[in-house]
Amino acid sequence: MTPDDALDALRAAAEPGRAEGMAQYHRAPRTYLGVPNPVLNDLTKEWRQEMYVPARVALADALWKTDIFEARLAAAKLLTQARLRPDDSAAWALIVSWVPDFDSWAIADHAMMAGQKRLVADPARIDEVETWTKSDSHWTRRAAMVITLPFAKQNHPDETETAIRERVLEWAATYVRDPEWFIQKSVAWWLRDLSKHDPDRVRAFMAENGRQMKKFARKEAEKYL
């Protein structure tokens, strides 16, 4: 599968008239083809089955560089897999290289879904993620919360996973003072998911930090308490 073959497949799957609505909805200035997400899922699943990991990494890199909306989503989906064989640093390094490019939630979230799998596979990568929390870009700071969401969803975290959970909550405690909507939303999303598994920890966080949060974020964080 060459990058040109992949782009041809994406263009062939586009629905007439859909691209205009997508461009208006997502707003970020780039090319939109109008491919529905379920179709992207089917295409990338087929590509994953046909390609070894190094070839997938190369294709994902090429697709991302086109800056076409569906191509960037496809790039992320090519690497969204719990187990990669081999799970060397290439896939992780590529995902990390995408972070400075984030300018919309849809692309960022798809890329971070791929990143979540690689972070769970090697939790030591949390050290690199922590550097994102100091970025000037709110999209990069937000990505640190999104990529760590799996650690909010564990019923019985081990010692390492518990340490990461507490580390992310430390980031969240600094984020609550940030007025940016997407940052507030990312904290609320993380706490909401954690509340399903450790409600007492969320109550403690809110008691200490809740007054700093925007009203909508507090409501979201406490949704299941």
* % of residues, the chain, pLDDT over 90: 94
The Cα 211–Cα 19 span in angstroms is 41
Q: Is-cis flag, bond preceding 150, omega within 30?
A: no
pLDDT band per the 50, 70, 90 thresholds, residue 114: very high
pLDDT at 27 over 90: no
SS3 209: helix
The Cα 54–Cα 214 span in angstroms is 44
Q: Angle formed by the axes of helices 159-175 and 138-147, to 10°?
A: 150
Q: Mean of the pLDDT values across residues 48-59?
A: 94
pLDDT at 44 over 90: yes
198-223 per-position pLDDT tens digit? 999 999 999 999 999 999 999 999 99
- In the structure encoding, which two tokens stand for residue 72, read together? 């960037």
- In DSSP terms, 68 is beta-bridged to 31
Domain definitions of the chain by residue range: 1-103, 122-225
Residue 68 confidence (pLDDT): 98
Short-list 25, 177, 176, 41, CA closest to 105: 25
Lookup result for tokens 């081999």? 86
Alpha helices in the chain (DSSP H): 3-12, 18-26, 37-50, 53-65, 69-78, 89-98, 105-121, 126-132, 138-147, 159-175, 181-195, 199-209, 215-221
| Buried/exposed code over 184-216 (b: 16+ C-beta within 10 A; e: otherwise) | bbbbbbbbbbbbeebeebbeebbeebbebbbee
Residue 82 confidence (pLDDT): 84
Short-list 182, 193, 191, 185, CA closest to 216: 185
83-97 per-position pLDDT tens digit? 887 777 899 999 999
- In the structure encoding, which two tokens stand for residue 137, read together? 């870009």
* % of residues, the chain, pLDDT over 70: 100
Residue 84 confidence (pLDDT): 86
For the domain 122-225, what is the CATH code? 1.25.10.90
pLDDT band per the 50, 70, 90 thresholds, residue 99: very high
Q: Mean of the pLDDT values across residues 107-130?
A: 97
